[in-house]
């Protein structure tokens, strides 16, 4: 399936969750047939994607691109969050170890793939407070760009948490128990295969220059996770 026309999306909603094993098929049916449809028809939403985790990653990662992070504080979105359907209420009770963050785009590199990327690599991390601005500048202008030159890496994006919006309490949050994670930065790479992060080219960028090695040592609470694409739905106005 070809992607609809690229849009200037600067917001990202990401939810990580394990799901009770005996409920996963029903969870996917609910998420495909009701929940994602409901979400992408909210004004300001562009596309929703669901991924399944590889190895020790959470069972599922659900992501929605929006035109701005403030879409998740809009009246239509909060109305949906505070008035869940019966199916949604039931589905959310099967979430475990949930984390939900809302982000705004800091930087992007590479090119959007012609079709949906089959895999993503996700890095969540914090920064040394005293070096935050320097590290973000390096990651945005140098590191992200260099990683996107590795064959098989389509696009890389760096996001920072919108703490104010992430902390809004809603009925759905109270049911699922999901809340903001501890890491404030998220790097998202759309990739063609799962072994890219262990390839010589990728590792060569990481080892790179002395400056790169120094900067990478300042990334704290780093979590690296891989996922494969399970389901995608675009908003009807661009689909």
Q: Which residue has the tokens 């929006």?
A: 66
In a domain, 6, yes or no: no
Cα separation of 81 and 166, whole Å?
13
**Total Cβ atoms within 10 A of residue 43:** 13
State how many domains the chain has: 1
Tell me which H or E stretch contains 120.
strand 119-127
Structure letter (DSSP) for residue 129: G
pLDDT at position 6: 65
Write out the residue range of the structural domain in which residue 17 sits.
11-234
Judged by DSSP in three states, 85 sits in: coil
Contact 39, 80 (CB under 8 A): yes
pLDDT at position 239: 43
In a domain, 5, yes or no: no
pLDDT tens for the chain, residues 1 to 239? 446 666 789 999 999 999 999 999 999 999 999 999 999 999 999 999 999 999 999 999 999 999 999 999 999 999 999 999 999 999 999 999 999 999 999 999 999 999 999 999 999 999 988 889 999 999 999 999 999 999 999 999 999 999 999 999 999 999 999 989 999 999 999 999 999 989 999 999 887 778 888 899 999 999 999 999 999 999 987 54
In a domain, 142, yes or no: yes
In a domain, 1, yes or no: no
In a domain, 222, yes or no: yes
Please state whether the predicted TM-score (pTM) of the whole model is above 0.85. Answer: yes
pLDDT at position 209: 78
| pLDDT tens column, 75-111 | 999 999 999 999 999 999 999 999 999 999 999 999 9
pLDDT at position 5: 61
Pairing of strands 60-66, 119-127: unpaired
Q: Residue 178 maps to which CATH number?
A: 3.30.70.100
């Amino acid at each position: 399936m070809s992607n609809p026309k690229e849009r200037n999306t600067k917001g990202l909603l990401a939810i990580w969750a394990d799901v009770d094993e005996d409920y996963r098929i029903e969870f996917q049916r609910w998420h495909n047939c009701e929940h994602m449809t409901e979400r992408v028809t909210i004004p300001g939403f562009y596309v929703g994607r669901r991924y399944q985790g590889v190895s020790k990653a959470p069972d599922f990662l659900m992501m929605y691109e929006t035109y701005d992070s403030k879409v998740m504080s809009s009246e239509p979105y909060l109305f949906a969050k505070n008035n869940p359907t019966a199916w949604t209420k039931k589905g959310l009770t099967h979430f475990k170890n949930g984390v939900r963050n809302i982000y705004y785009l800091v930087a992007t590199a590479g090119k959007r793939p012609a079709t949906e990327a089959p895999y993503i690599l996700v890095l969540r991390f914090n920064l040394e407070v005293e070096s935050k601005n320097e590290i973000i500048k390096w990651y945005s202008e140098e590191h992200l760009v260099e990683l996107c030159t590795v064959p098989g890496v389509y696009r890389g994006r760096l996001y920072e948490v919108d703490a104010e919006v992430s902390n809004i309490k809603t009925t759905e949050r109270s049911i699922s128990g999901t809340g903001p994670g501890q890491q404030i930065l998220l790097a998202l790479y759309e990739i063609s295969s799962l072994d890219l992060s262990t390839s010589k080219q990728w590792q060569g960028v990481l080892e790179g220059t002395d400056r790169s090695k120094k900067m990478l040592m300042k990334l704290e609470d780093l979590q690296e996770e891989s996922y494969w694409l399970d389901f995608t739905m675009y908003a009807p106005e661009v689909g």
